[in-house]
Amino acid sequence: MSASQGPDYDRLFAKGTPAATPRFTGFPKYNFVGGHNDPTRIPVAALAEAAAAAITREGAQLALYNMGQGPLGHTGMRDLVADKLKRHRGVEITRDDVLITSGSLQGLDLVNDLLLEPGDTVLFEELSYGGAISRVKKRGVTVVPVALDQDGMRMDALADALAALKAKGVTPKYIYTIPTIQNPTGSILPLDRRHRMLELAREYGVPIFEDECYADLIWAGMSTTPPAIYALDPAQVIHIGSFSKTLAPALRAAYAVAPWPVLSRLVSLKTDGGTGSVEQMLVAEYFGKHFDSHVNALTGVLNEKLATMVEAVEREFGAAAELFVPKGGIFLWLRLPPEVDVTKLVQPAAKRGIQFNPGPEWAVDPASAKSQLRLCFALPSKEEIKAGVAEFARVCFEETGIPKQSGNVANRPG
């Protein structure tokens, strides 16, 4: 007997198996989603040179898992992290306090593996990174939203939430925060709030899970922000960060920093045979020499693209869009009038080659962000930003009657 139809896989799949991923058919024309970077800002020649130099010097050690340098990762890469965090984030650590991870998504997974069980509770900013929200909810964990304002998480709201949970006998497993370029609102948490968050965390015995994925991309310069929360009380904080956003997301080069009782168990849970060493060698080699200059130049370009996007949104949407202009990063958050349900724009926009992040996916309570959305601006060119936002405004008008006017011209049914 030869080839068969195979077993009845549908019957064999575990409960809760996600839907099949459709065949990839390329990016949309106007790609306003995801943590992509600007292809014109990849330092191709310098990376080629750095890769060749690092492999020539250290390549023989690739024969050993983790290059024989242990499960925390490549020593040069960990030195890079320690140096960067010291110079820009006020953090005093050595390479022995750093675990290299395959992207900060793996950092999220490892911390969740360590701390979360179904039925647990965590605290999130009411708007937060969609991938972090979905990961936690998938585990059967309750996510309690904490209100944000233009400066990030509100400490009165955090105090209230912790007190309310305590009254119910619940100790949350962590407070997840993106304090420095909040995702999606782009704010920077002021120093006094960082101290207050730590006070509350200590009072309630709750770790802070600090995600500084975008903290190096600051319009005013990396070192103008308050120190990382980790820097203010290392024992209280699990800190993660990444080079995906400052160098390239196709490189999986991120890190976790935490007290050793935590870090040593994240290592135990990281059963992947190590994070790819060539990427670590490459990041260590290139950013070991060029981190500040690269990031400063990239930030300048990103800030210009943001300006282009803000102008385009203001021109095309006018008063219909309330903008949360970010202090750094790669995305713009905006709110449309409450009669707009952005989830209903997804398909019509896709048909016109536009992809955006609907607000409900970035909200602990999806319904609360029904009229909000995120537009990423690092990947598209300025021309694509202008044309894509204009096209998106047309789609929005056709579907909802909003915006009533783009530029100086009243929109009319087509």
Judged by CB under 8 A, which of 28, 83, 90, 131 binds a second copy?
Answer: 131
Interaction mask 266-295, a second copy, x per CB under 8 A: -xxx-xxxxxxxxx--x-------------
Identify which range of 180-188, 219-227, 251-259, 320-328 contacts a second copy by CB under 8 A: 251-259
Query: Shortest CA distance to 260 belongs to which of 120, 72, 82?
Result: 72
Residues 337-356 that bind a second copy (CB under 8 A): none
Interface size with a second copy, residues (CB under 8 A): 113
Judged by CB under 8 A, which of 28, 190, 259, 337 binds a second copy?
Answer: 259
Does 92 sit near a second copy (CB under 8 A)? no
Query: Shortest CA distance to 177 belongs to which of 120, 224, 215?
Result: 215
CA end-to-end distance (rounded Å), the chain:
61
What separation in angstroms does the CA of 118 have from each of 1, 133, 142?
Answer: 46, 14, 8
* Closer by beta carbon to a second copy, 74 or else 327: 74
The answer for residues whose C-beta is within 8 angstroms of residue 385's C-beta and 6 or more apart is 305, 308, 309, 312, 377
* Closer by beta carbon to a second copy, 71 or else 329: 71
Interaction mask 137-176, a second copy, x per CB under 8 A: ----------------------------------x-x---
CB 197 within 8 A of CB 145: no
| Closest distance to a second copy from the beta carbon of 184 (Å) | 18
Residues 14-33 that bind a second copy (CB under 8 A): 14-15, 17-24, 26-27
The rounded distance, in Å, linking the Cα atoms of 414 and 39 is 36
Does 94 sit near a second copy (CB under 8 A)? no
Judged by CB under 8 A, which of 59, 227, 288, 366 binds a second copy?
Answer: 59
* Closer by beta carbon to a second copy, 135 or else 315: 135
CB 198 within 8 A of CB 160: no
* Closer by beta carbon to a second copy, 21 or else 408: 21
Q: Phi and psi dihedrals of 326, rounded to 5?
A: -80, 155
CB 387 within 8 A of CB 299: no
SS3 (DSSP) at 176:
strand
* Closer by beta carbon to a second copy, 247 or else 345: 247
| Closest distance to a second copy from the beta carbon of 264 (Å) | 4
Does 51 sit near a second copy (CB under 8 A)? yes
Q: Angle at which helices 382-400 and 277-317 pack, to 10 degrees? A: 50
